[in-house]
Amino acid sequence: MTRRNYDIAELRRLDIAHHLPAQANYKLIQDLGGSRVITRAEGSTIYDGDGNAILDGMAGLWCVDIGYGRRELAEAAYEQMLELPFYNTFFRTATVPAIELATRLAGLLGGELQHIFFNSSGSEANDTVFRLVRTYWALKGQPERTVFISRRNAYHGSTVAGASLGGMTFMHAQGGLPIPGVEHVMQPYAFNDGFGEDPDAFAARAAQDIEDRILAVGPDKVAAFIGEPVQGAGGVIIPPPGYWQKVEAICRKYGILLVSDEVICGFGRLGEWFGFQKFGYTPDIVSMAKGLSSGYQPISATAISREIIATFRAADDDFVHGYTYSGHPVAAAVALRNLDIIEGEKLVDRVRDDIGPYFAAALKRLDGHPLVGQIRSLGLIGAVEIVAEPGTNRRFGGKEGAAGPIVRDACIAGGLMVRAVRDSIVMCPPFVITREEVDRMVAIIAAALDASAEKLRALDIAARQHAEAGL
């Protein structure tokens, strides 16, 4: 393939003039002279227009599981575009890739999760959940069951329903969210909310908060509980053993639907096809996106139990919900080819038995670093917590969130793309990452921590001076 040359300075100027990136501070981007322009990628490496090669520790945005540059997916899109580039599913119509992908997903999910509704993004998958669940309860003759229980600091998307289901208060602050009928409870974030607590006691306390809220709302008003198996965007929050069993038991006790948001965890990220399989619980509904096509096409899916769809069928009326691009044939064809690769190359096994354990062992090398408070990982997702004092969860500057961006920027400058969530450096590399690349990731993080030490200590000094001045 001939490599194109770009005028990056001009593209940056146009980026500021016309393009609005997602979840961004437009003033900051302007001050920075425009975004970093990513021009190409191969394997687990992205390249920017300034000639930097950056190891992609985030698999794009938690999604490019099979790595970049896979011709098979380009060919699948090309072939499908020539055969049928688009047709909708509104007119009692379906396309071959949509039917085949639904069938394939039903097989991977197993059990009762045998019906698949397609959307284009994770947020839309959760919008589908929102309307479907409330409609289901209305059809069951329990229209008062409308309340969703979610967790603080959960991420379920950026649409009105997605951000409302999510528990990020800084998102709620924009647009008057959450919409009525969403209750947020404790997250199972032991490092912050249960530091030093016995894991079993903490799991019981976190689950109890769900039950307490159900009782406060009134069990006959609660429609569903939604949760990510591992909270990704919230900072890679891995729940303690037994937590999900307790959550499931509470949902069953009160007849509440259990929704597993597998937008990040699905398709092998945790070393099983789905997070609910890893943790051993049985959801009624599953949201998925990202790894479904490894990000090569925008496609998401909502998997729904037999019982729920039997209720819709018994009602014999339309579910008046759906998108122009629901079941888009090109996106579905690309997703199918992506699943062929995950299966053919045994990438889920690789995450579980090979590169996942290697990643965990490599991260362990950061244990004992004076700026590291905790290292946690499961499969190929992980986080490093930055603290001001070893053995504690004390934060630099006395405020969570000041240290993370400093270390993140040092990682990127060192050639590794990671994200900072408050004071955690989070990682989610492609399943095809090599051992050498994992070693390089860890070495870059270690160097970034060392290089940031002085700036981080300055946060503490500034906070102390601020306090002494009585400000």
Q: Using CB under 6 A as the criterion, which residues of the chain lie in contact with ligand PLP when the complex forms?
A: 62, 121-123, 126, 155-158, 228, 232-233, 261, 263-264, 289
Between 291 and 397, whose beta carbon lies closer to ligand PLP?
291
Backbone phi, then psi, for 333, in 5-degree steps? Answer: -65, -40
CB of 381 to ligand PLP, least distance (A): 11
Instruction: State the nearest-atom distance from the C-beta of 270 to ligand PLP, in Å.
Output: 13
For residue 289, the surrounding DSSP H or E stretch is none
For ligand PLP, the closer CB: 243 or 396? 243
CB closer to ligand PLP, 45 vs 123: 123
- Residues 6 or more apart in contact with residue 264 via CB below 8 angstroms: 62, 228, 230, 232, 233, 290, 291, 381, 428
Strands (E) in 168-246, as ranges, are 182-185, 222-227
Q: Give the rounded distance of the alpha carbon of 272 from its chain centre.
A: 16
Give me the least distance between CB of 150 and ligand PLP, in Å please.
11
From the centroid of its chain, how far is CA 408? Answer: 18
Dihedral angle, C-alpha 432, 434, 438, 441, nearest 10 °: -80
String of b and e for 57-94 (b: at least 16 CB within 10 Å)?
Answer: bbbbebbbbbbbebeebeebbeebeeeeeeebbeeeee
CB closer to ligand PLP, 259 vs 406: 259
Token pair belonging to 55: 């190891």
Q: CA 233, CA 419: separation in Å to the nearest integer? A: 9
3-state secondary structure (DSSP) of residue 206: helix
Please say which residue, 39 or 158, places its beta carbon nearer to ligand PLP: 158
Shorter beta-carbon distance to ligand PLP: residue 35 or 158: 158
Nearer to ligand PLP, 155 or 274 (CB): 155
Q: Which helix (H) or strand (E) element contains residue 40? A: strand 38-42
Question: Whole-number minimum distance, CB 468 to ligand PLP, in Å?
Answer: 41
Kindly tell me which of 123 and 146 has the beta carbon lying closer to ligand PLP: 123
- Between 44 and 126, whose beta carbon lies closer to ligand PLP? 126
| Least gap, CB of 262 to ligand PLP (angstroms) | 7
Instruction: Give me the residue whose beta carbon is nearest to ligand PLP.
Output: 122
Burial class of residue 208, CB neighbours in 10 A (0-12, 13-18, 19+): middle
CB 217 to ligand PLP: min, Å: 23
d(CA 4, CA 102): 37
Minimum distance, C-beta of residue 155 to ligand PLP, in the bound complex (Å): 5
**Closest Cα partner for 416 from 407, 169, 352?**
407
To the nearest whole angstrom, how small is the minimum distance from the Cβ of residue 104 to ligand PLP? 20
* DSSP secondary structure letter of residue 48: E
Our CB check for ligand PLP shows the closer of 270 and 449 to be 270
How far apart, in whole angstroms, are the C-alpha atoms of residue 248 and residue 123?
A: 23
Nearer to ligand PLP, 149 or 444 (CB): 149
Give least dist CB 345 to ligand PLP, A: 24
* Shortest Å, Cβ 392 to ligand PLP: 29
In whole angstroms, what is the distance from residue 172 CA to residue 182 CA? 12
CA–CA distance, 279 with 166 (Å, rounded to integer): 21
The least CB distance from residue 426 to ligand PLP, in Å, is: 11
Q: Are 163 and 157 in contact (CB under 8 A)?
A: yes
Cβ(22)–Cβ(159) under 8 Å? no
Q: Using CA of residue 108, residue 112, residue 118, residue 122, what is the dihedral sign? A: negative
